[in-house]
Amino acid sequence: MCVLMVGALLAGLLLPLVLRLTSVLNSRRHGINQSLVYPLLPPAAWLLGAGWLWQTKPEVWFIYYLHTAVWAFVGVAATLMWKNRGALQTTAAALLGGLSTFILVLFTYVNVSQAQRLSESATWNWNSYREFVECIDQSLTATENSLGKIAAFRVWGPTFPDVLIELSRKHEHWQFTRTNDFWERSDLAIQHGRDVEAVVVTEILSPVERDISAPAQDYPEIKSAWMTWSQHFLNQLWKDPKWKPNRYICQRGRWQAFIFTN
């Protein structure tokens, strides 16, 4: 993706300028014209804007937006290359083919080697993750049953990995909210943490793989990295001794969940 991003920006933003300065743009000898180059400018500008947006507001969903912009550029470039395949020189075609091969080999190597490393751990498989979600679900369900009839059982999952999707499939009547990406609104997030019936702080920061389903008081040495981070707004809730005293730990492998309820 990084190779594609850099290549797309260079091709879309610098190539027209270079061709204009070197008087190649209108040169029949090279067989390259405006119809081949200038259509790259809009998708390159979109990619540049997407990169700026993700850099200034790094919310998770803008990664998808950035990747979409990259592949839109690749699609436009591939279409132009195909339509102008007769005008492209053999050298240019060879360079593009070599770059594509390099990207494919790099992608394959990284994914295969990563899959091999992940398979050596008991954590990174669907069975461990499903057991992790099931542990959280059992704890939250027990809390809901203890509260009796309420308007709606509200669960806040302010961290990643996001288990709320799986929980929403099990409990359509529950109300789920995700993280707060705007720290200037941390006061609203803190108040929300006080209002909801349960807060589930999920993490994968533990270097030790364990299998735990127990009250937090049974494992005082295990603490949430997010909650104890003094600069994070969640720390304000952690430091309040009256905030949600019923606390439970679910851990499967390196998947951790710190569950806080009233």
Q: Which of 235, 249, 237, 241 is nearest to 202 (CA)?
A: 249
Whether pLDDT at 156 is above 50: yes
Cα(47)–Cα(45) distance, rounded to whole angstroms?
Answer: 5
| CA atoms lying within 13 Å on the CB side of residue 198 | 29
**pLDDT at residue 94, as a whole number:** 67
Cα(5)–Cα(28) distance, rounded to whole angstroms?
Answer: 30
What letter would DSSP give residue 256?
E
255 touches 123 (CB < 8 A): yes
Cα(136)–Cα(166) distance, rounded to whole angstroms?
Answer: 10
More confident residue, 41 or 143: 143
Cα(217)–Cα(214) distance, rounded to whole angstroms?
Answer: 8
- Tokens for 1, please give them: 């993706």
Whether pLDDT at 162 is above 70: yes
Cα(51)–Cα(63) distance, rounded to whole angstroms?
Answer: 9
201 touches 257 (CB < 8 A): yes
Average pLDDT for the chain: 85
User: pLDDT class for 140, splitting at 50, 70, 90?
Assistant: very high
What letter would DSSP give residue 216?
G
Cα(180)–Cα(203) distance, rounded to whole angstroms?
Answer: 16
The tens digit of pLDDT for each residue in 249-262 reads 999 999 999 999 99
Total-model pTM: 0.68
Whether pLDDT at 146 is above 70: yes
Q: Which of 251, 82, 46 is nearest to 161 (CA)?
A: 251
Q: Which of 216, 223, 204 is nearest to 247 (CA)?
A: 216
